[in-house]
Amino acid sequence: MDTNYESLRDLACKAMVSDEEWKLFAERSRVREVRKGTCLVETGEMVMYAYYCASGLFRLFYPLPDGKEYNVAFTLENDFATSYGAMVKRMPSSYTIEALEDSVVIEISYESLQEIMDSCHSWERFVRKSVERLYIRKEERERELLFLSALQRYEAFLVKYPGLENRIPQYHVASYLGISPVSLSRMLRAKRA
């Protein structure tokens, strides 16, 4: 088995996916190398694939007409990245997914994923659980933006994405927190003092 599939296979086994059901998934998916700076999905594009990050790092962001970009999430190893709502609704994506590091993904078309879920209850359960995790993160993020101070949002970021602050530029962290890079620098200086 390709080593890129190992962590996804481990997750699938926990969802009681049988060897035969796993083989079906492996036959319908492919491993894809993604260079740093490459976009898996761009704003306005139709979303045809779901991606599992085997290695590397992605950011999900909204580009605005004035050139600003707002990071809404990060996808690290052993997690999924796609514009799920756009994929399901067959509408253009409202955000972009960009590789922040050279990465490897497992790519499967939405049609193939649907076929697998329709024929294998365990895959349907696995995808449902994955979507539930994504929904919970989105709900937590909305609550953080509404109710937490910038410092509290930063502390929540450190818990949610341990070590990520050392892998990405500070301006990406600031964008995720909804503050300017200058404000983040001031806040971190004050925190250290």
Buried b (16+ CB within 10 A) or exposed e, 105-140: bbbbebebbeebbeebebbbebbeebeeebeeeeee
Q: Would the pLDDT of 151 be above 90?
A: yes
pLDDT of 165-190, one tens digit each? 999 999 999 999 999 999 999 998 88
Distance CA 179, CA 102 (A): 27
Percent of the chain's residues with pLDDT above 90: 61
Q: What pLDDT score does 5 carry?
A: 65
CA 4 vs. chain centroid, Å, equals: 17
The domains located in the chain, with CATH, are 3-119 (2.60.120.10)
Q: Which of 80, 60, 77 is nearest to 69 (CA)?
A: 60
Is residue 126 within a helix (H) or strand (E), and if so which, with residue range? Answer: helix 121-147
Q: What pLDDT score does 128 carry?
A: 87
Average pLDDT of the residues in 9-26: 73
46 phi-psi bin (left φ>0, alpha ψ -120 to 50, beta other): beta
Whole-structure pTM value: 0.88
Calculate ∠ Cα 32-34-37, nearest 5°.
165
Phi and psi, residue 185, nearest 5°: -60, -45
User: Is the CB of residue 95 less than 8 Å from the CB of residue 83?
Assistant: yes
